Amino acid sequence: MPGFFREAARRVFAQELKDSNLTSRDESDQYAPQYVLTPTGAKVNRIFLVGTLIEKEDIGTDSEYWRGRVSDPTGSFLVYAGQYQPEAAQFLSECELPAFVAVVGKTSTYTTDDGNVLTSIRPESIQQVDELTRNLWVLDTAKQTLERIRAVEAEEDQNSKLAKEHYSTDTDSYRTMVKKALESLEERK
Amino acid sequence: MKQTAESIRDRFLKLGVDVPVEDVESRLDELINKFKVPSNEAQRSVTNYFLKKYSIPKNEFYVRQAEPQLTKIVDISENGQWANLKAKVVQLWENTHESISQVGLLGDETGIIKFTEWKNAELPRLEQGESYLLRSVVVGEYNGRFQVQLNKNSSVEKLDEPIAVGGGDFTPAARESELRNISDLAGGQWATVKGKVVQLWENSHESIEQAGLLGDHTGVIKFTNWASSELPDMEEGKSYLLKNVVVNEWGGKAQIQLNRSSSIEELDENIEVGSSTSTYFGAMVDIQTGSGLIKRCPECKRALVKGACAEHGKVKGEYDLRIKAVLDSGTSTQDALINRELTEELAGISLDTAIAMAADALDPGVVLDKLKHELVGRYYTVTGHKLDRYILVDSITQKTSLDREKLDEMLTLNETLNKPEVQ
């Protein structure tokens, strides 16, 4: 379909997003979205995650600028919300810790002086949710990650080939990550 | 500039008018150097000035000029180029704009091109199937394709000998389009469809005879029957064979249009309209503006924007609740429209409560916030009829339990896949 389409919100565990350092963008178009390609070949612009908000801090100098840390079974995501994300910023300023939160947002990357790529999330929305929703997300994300791991192993499409080439993805370690995440659900039986 | 001035003078000389070359030059100089007008614009403006001064009709002046050579359609390659064509009117289209008198396709042995004849060109009407010598048409570019335009300076002369059109006969009557399923229709083609009129809409424009929805076993599509098609009306609930309709896309969805080349045949059979219900599972990642407490036009039920209906202007709106949600599976997204009943149920607020909330806060936005707060981030399964990009939701259920079996299954699957590589 020509013209506008909505970016699907990818499901990626924190550990995998942290390992990501390949960004791409269509340079000819200043409005082109920026993507992060993860080691299992998820091409992420928008992301959906549910986890536990464990820290929050107003790091702004003039105006409020909130940083939140949201953890999942494999690590944590950093979420930044300032004046251009008023709803999310308000949520962060008001909510009590810890809390299960669902975050929809865009990934943004920052390259440090020594070449590390840090990926954070600019939220479009943050809502408080229940534990069940968090568990559903873990299951959902595990399923989609496994599917991507399989695609990388088979070098099935463009993204998985590119990921394999760039990261020399050790799929075993990501299988272990998924297993860990799934087992965290098991324990609650 | 001197040259330009002289060429203008020369052209006027041919008409028997001697314009002082200094005058031409000083005018050009003023426009180009003082007022930074591009040279060709300045040239035109100065020429027009003298035409007016000596009351020479523009047509006469431009027609008398050395005529451009005859151009073949395939050679048309430059935006803004003037051309003379010998061509046949292959097709006349529905005229969509009041400033256009005719629009359609011209063909010669080398190809086919779209033409537009402006109303103010005041040219005789072209007839489909006839061939003409078209003088001084202008080449334009639109959406990456060339087209020719007939304007005030163009002229048209009917030819006795027909022009052969390359690539065979393109008149639609000669080539009946293929019978297709509604779900297979895509933009930019002709088609023949069999379907039942599922819904007729209130007519919003005088140039439209009828508009509504047509369905077959594969799906439903919007149709428009233009008044100029001079086709009979269709009745809701009856089935028809529609020959040679145009399929085009608007806003990313296909729709069909009936025009002069189309035909309508009523069928005796009753076509089953496919229950095109779809089901989608995903997380609700957004609730869009236009959701929550809204006002609708009492006449056409459309949502009001700033208290006004697109069709009926300022009206006293009726309150309603609805949600335009975006569900997301991680690999795709789906827009869903949730009506008042389901919205009330999902969010646990009635329309009256919503109105009270909004009145209390002096802001209907609080209802939207409440909905986002209650729904966004959760997983839902929706089912309903699919229309354009939306699912019109009949039922929506929140996922309320973790599928333990699936969890176990995934763990084992992961194990088994892991093992051979570990060993």
Q: For the segment B36-85, what is each residue's pLDDT rounded down to a tens digit?
A: 777 777 888 888 888 888 888 777 776 555 555 788 887 887 777 888 88
B330–A10 C-beta distance less than 8 A: yes
Using CA atoms, how far apart are residues B115 and B130, in angstroms rounded to an integer? 14
A137 close to B (CB below 8 A) = yes
B402–A144 C-beta distance less than 8 A: no
- Asked whether the beta carbons of A145 and B413 are under 8 A apart, the reply is no
Tell me the pLDDT band of B281, cut-offs 50, 70 and 90: very high
- Asked whether the beta carbons of B279 and B383 are under 8 A apart, the reply is yes
A11 close to B (CB below 8 A) = yes
B306 close to A (CB below 8 A) = no
Span B302-316, average pLDDT: 85
Give the number of A-B residue pairs with CB atoms closer than 8 Å.
101
A189–B404 C-beta distance less than 8 A: yes
- Output the pLDDT for position A85: 93
CA distance, residue B317 to nearest chain A CA (Å) = 29
CA distance, residue A103 to nearest chain B CA (Å) = 7
From residue A174, alpha-carbon distances to A15, A178, A180, B95, B184 in Å are 9, 6, 10, 60, 41
The DSSP 8-state label assigned to residue B70 in this structure reads: B
B228: number of CA atoms within 13 Å, CB side?
Answer: 12
Smallest CA–CA distance from B379 into chain A, residue: A133
Q: Given B328, B410, B417, which is nearest A143 (Cβ)?
A: B410
B407–A9 C-beta distance less than 8 A: no
Tell me the pLDDT band of B293, cut-offs 50, 70 and 90: very high
Mutate which of A40, A90, A139 to disrupt the B interface (most B C-beta within 10 Å)?
A139
B283–A48 C-beta distance less than 8 A: yes
- Output the pLDDT for position B370: 93
- Output the pLDDT for position B291: 93
B403–A102 C-beta distance less than 8 A: no
pLDDT at residue B203 is higher than 80 = no
pLDDT digits (tens, 9 = 90+) for A105-129: 999 998 888 888 899 999 999 999 9
Q: How large is the ipTM?
A: 0.91
Q: Given A129, A140, A179, which is nearest B377 (Cβ)?
A: A129
Sign of CA dihedral B39, B40, B46, B50: positive
CA distance, residue B138 to nearest chain A CA (Å) = 29
B373–A127 C-beta distance less than 8 A: yes
Q: Which residues pair with B219 in a beta bridge?
A: B216
Question: Contacts of residue A52 in chain B, CB cutoff 8 Å?
Answer: none
What's the pTM value of the predicted model, to 2 decimals? 0.60
